[in-house]
Amino acid sequence: MSNTNSLKMDKPVPASLLDSGSQGIIGRPLDRKEGPLKVTGQATYSAEYQIPNLAYGYLVGTKFGRGKVTNVDADSVRAIPGVIDVVTDFKTFLQNSQQGGETSAPTQGVQDVHYFGEIVAIVLAESYEAARDAGIRIKVEYEEAEGRFDFEAHKDETTKPPPNNIPAHFKQGDVEKAMADAATSVDVTYTTPSQNSSAMEPHASIAVWDEDGALTLYGSYQMPTSDKTQLAKSLGVKDKKVRIIAPYIGGGFGSKLGIAPESVAAAVAAKQLGRPVKAVMTRPQVFETTVRRSNTEQRVRFSVDGEGKLTGVGHETLTSNLPGEGFFEPTGIGTHFAYSGENRLINHDLVELDWLLSGSMRAPGEAVGMMATEAALDELCHKLGVDPIDFWKQNEPSEDPEEKIPFSTRQLVRCLEEGAESFGWSKRNATPGQVRDGEWMIGMGVAAAVRTNMLMESSAKVAIDANGRATVSSAMTDIGTGSYTILGQIAGELLGLPLDQVSVVLGDTDLPDAAGSGGSWGAGSSGSAVYLACEMLREKLAKAMGCDPETLTLKDGQAIADNRQVSLGSLVGDGIEAIGSIAPGKMEKDRKQSSYGAHFVEVGVNATTGEVRVRRMLGVFAAGRILNAKTARSQCLGGMTFGIGAALTEDLVHDPRNGKLVNHDLGEYHVPVNADVPQIEVHFLEERDQFANPIHAKGIGELGISGCGAAIGNAVFNATGIRVRDYPITVDKLLDQLPPV
C-alpha cells in the first residue's frame, strides 16, 4: 500500500479536517516554535556553520558596466600573506542569478561583462581579512564596450517579452473607443524606480564536496528543491549529487528565490582547492549582483460612463531587463481581475538595458502595479467627486472580467467597509489641503489590495514515534514567514497534539521536495502537504483503534473512539509515517483565486519642509483561513512597511554612464526604520477558500504590500493637493508646490 496521500486540486474540498479538529490550536496566535533560538542567537544561518579546514572566499566584481575581461591577474595578489589562490571559471561562473522555480541553470559565463559589478573571480585565503585585502587589490584587466545604461534614452526601443505568469500583451474590446466615449476618464503615467529586496542576511554559501563528488551547500535560499536543480545543472553534476541546507534564512523577499553567483563561485573554488569554501557577499555585492525589482513606467487609463460605471481599463507598462532575460515585472497581474470594465488593454514591454538582472521582489506585479492603478483610481474618484469606497461598491465585478469565471472568494468591499468604519474614514475631508495640525498638513488615503493566490507542488512527511510525538519534515523553508509554527499547528490540530509535541524540520533537500517560500504560496502549498500526510495518519490510527476515521477524536496525545481512550504512542508501535503531496489542478482555471484587502493611511506633510510622516495605518485583509493570527499579522506588518518604503524612500539609482548603482548599501538605499513606521493595525476577515486547497488558506506574505504605497500617495494628495506620479514621494517633488509658508 502506498504511503503517500496525493491530491491534485481538481475539485473543491468543501470540508476541511482543520474545522473539525479537537486540539484547538489552528489559527491561534501561538509564539513561533523557533523563537527561543532566534532571540538567543542560536539559530544557525548559512555563513555560520563551523566547518573544519574552511577557506575564506572574497568575490571579485567588475568596476565597469559592459565589455570583456581580458585577464584576472592572480599573481598581483599571490604574495599577500594568507592568500591561497584566485579562482575563476569564465564558462561556469554565473552571469546572472536565476529566477525562482526555474529548473535550468541561470545564464552562465562571465568573460563578457553585462553589468557593473558582475562577479568574475573569487580570491581564497586562510582568513577573511587576507581574502578581502586581496579581493580589493587584485588587478582585473578589461576592454570596456559601449553599453545601454540609460532607461530614458532607450525607452522607445522595446521588445515584447515571452509570457510570464501572465501574457505580456492582452486586449479585450476597445479601450481607445471607451476613452473617447467616456463621460469621465483619466489618462496618467506613473513611474517607479528599481528597488532592492534588502534582506538583512547577505547572500552566503559554504560549499563542501565529499570524496564521492557530492556537494553540500549551506546556502540562504528560499526554494531549495528547485535551487538544488539549478545548482546541479550549473555545475554539470547530477541532481542527486547536490544537497542544499537552509534551515534559517535571514529574509529573502524574492532575492533568494533562485541561486545567485556566490553559490557557483564557492562550489567551483571548493572543488578546485579540495577544501570547503565560504563565500559571503558584501552588502554592495548583494545590491549589484543578485536581483532588483525593475523600474517601471506605467500608463494607466480608466473610463467611466455617465452612471459612473467603469467601461475601460488600460494599463501599459515599460519595464527593463538584461538582453535575453525574459522576465518582466508583471504590473498588470492584479489589473486583470481587480477592476471591472468591458474594454481592456494590459500590455508589458521590455527595455533591454545593461543593468543587473531584474526579477521577483515581494509581490512582483501588484506591489508596484497597484501603486499606479490605485493612485489613478483615486484621481478618477477625485475628478468624479465620488468617495473611492462608494466607487468600488458600484464597480465591484461579480466575476472575473476577462475569463468570466467566478471568484473563489472576494471580500474586497467588506475589507473597505470594515476598514472605513475602524479607521474613521468618514472624518476625511475630500477636498485636499484643508486639515492642519500645527505645521503639518494632514490627509487620509485609501487603496484596495489584491494578490493572486498560487498553489505549487509540495510534499511533506509526518511521522508519529513510539512516544507519541510527531515530526514534520520537508524541504520547505521558513524565511521569517512562520512555516515552522504553522506546519506544526496544522499537524498538531489534525493529530491531536499540542504544538510542543510536534517537531518541524525544514530547509534540507534530503527531505521531501517542497514548494519553498515565494509568491505567497508557501503556507497553502506546504501546509496542504502536511494536511494530506496527517489525513493518512488519521486513517492509520483509526484502523489501529478499529474505528472509522470520522468517529476518531484526537486530542492531547490521546486517540478517543467508542468510549475508549488510548495514547498515540501505544497505538503506533515502533512508529508510523506518511507522506502528503499536493499539486495544482483544475481549480486554478475554474475559479479566480486571490487574497484581498484594503489599506487606510493618515499622513502628515510638513508645510515647510515637505517631509512626509505616516501617522496611522490600518490594513484589513481576507486571505482564507488564518493559520496563526500572530505570524499572519506580522507578515502583513512587513508587507505594509515595504509599502511605506516604496512610497516614500526606496529608489535604486543607476548611473546612466555605466550602470553602477549609486546607492548600493543600506546607508544610501533607504528602507524604512523603526521611526518611519507607526503602530500599524491589521484586521483579518473570517474566510475559508475551499477552491484553494484543503486547508482553505491563501497567501498573505505579499498582500500587505499590494496597494499600500498608493494609499500613502493618495493620503499625501489629500493632505496637500499635490499628486506625485513619480515614486518615491520625496521632499524635492513636493517642495515647490507647497503653499507659501
Partner 1 sequence: MHFTINGTAYTAEPDIRTSLLDLLREHLGLTGSKKGCDHGQCGACTVLVNGRRINSCLSLAVMHQDDEITTIEGLGTPEDLHPLQAAFVKHDGYQCGYCTPGQICSAVGMLDEVKKGWPSHVSETLGDVEFNDGEISERMSGNLCRCAAYPNIVDAIRDVAEAKA
Report the interface residues with partner 1, using CB under 8 A: 31-32, 34-45, 47-48, 50, 127-129, 133, 197-202, 248-251, 253, 280, 282-283, 479-482, 630-631, 633-635, 637-638, 640-642, 665-667, 671-680
Query: Toward partner 1, which CB reaches closer, 33 or 410?
Result: 33
504 - beta bridge partners?
A: 472
Query: Toward partner 1, which CB reaches closer, 540 or 615?
Result: 615
Query: Toward partner 1, which CB reaches closer, 181 or 668?
Result: 668
- The DSSP secondary structure of 674-703, one letter per residue, reads GGG----EEEE-----TTT-TT-B---TTT
Q: Look up residue 182 and give its three cell numbers.
A: 467616456
Q: How distant, in Å, are the alpha carbons of 468, 544, 552 from that of 537? A: 12, 10, 12
Q: Are 37 and 43 in contact (CB under 8 A)?
A: yes
Query: Toward partner 1, which CB reaches closer, 37 or 214?
Result: 37
125 - beta bridge partners?
A: 56, 83
d(CA 409, CA 687): 8
The minimum distance between CB 27 and partner 1, in angstroms, equals 15
d(CA 42, CA 125): 27
d(CA 686, CA 23): 20
271 - beta bridge partners?
A: none
The minimum distance between CB 208 and partner 1, in angstroms, equals 17
d(CA 119, CA 286): 11
Query: Toward partner 1, which CB reaches closer, 109 or 678?
Result: 678
H helix intervals, 361-403: 366-384, 388-395
If 0-12 CB within 10 Å is exposed, 13-18 middle and 19+ buried, where does residue 495 land? buried
The minimum distance between CB 56 and partner 1, in angstroms, equals 8
The minimum distance between CB 79 and partner 1, in angstroms, equals 17
- The DSSP secondary structure of 463-503, one letter per residue, reads EEETTS-EEEE-S---SSS-HHHHHHHHHHHHHT--GGGEE
Q: Are 627 and 27 in contact (CB under 8 A)?
A: yes
Query: Toward partner 1, which CB reaches closer, 595 or 641?
Result: 641
Q: Write out the H or E segment, with its range, that includes residue 514.
A: none
Q: Write out the H or E segment, with its range, that includes residue 345.
A: strand 343-352
DSSP 160: P
Query: Toward partner 1, which CB reaches closer, 301 or 633?
Result: 633
Q: Are 318 and 288 in contact (CB under 8 A)?
A: no
The minimum distance between CB 394 and partner 1, in angstroms, equals 34
How many distinct helices (H) and strands (E) make up the chain?
17, 29
DSSP 214: -
d(CA 101, CA 231): 12
Q: Look up residue 460 and give its three cell numbers.
A: 511533506
Q: Are 317 and 298 in contact (CB under 8 A)?
A: yes
- Determine the distance from the C-alpha atom of residue 198 to the mean position of all C-alpha atoms in its chain, rounded to a whole number: 12
DSSP 602: E
CA angle 579, 584, 587 (to 5 degrees): 130
Q: Are 646 and 191 in contact (CB under 8 A)?
A: no
- 241-264 burial: b if 16+ Cβ within 10 Å, else e: bbbbbbbbbbbbbbbbbbbbbbbb
Residues with Cβ within 8 Å of 393's Cβ and at least 6 positions away in sequence, in order, are: 413, 416
Q: Are 373 and 299 in contact (CB under 8 A)?
A: no
Query: Toward partner 1, which CB reaches closer, 482 or 512?
Result: 482
Known catalytic residues are 702
DSSP 247: S
The minimum distance between CB 242 and partner 1, in angstroms, equals 24
DSSP 3-state assignment of 367? helix
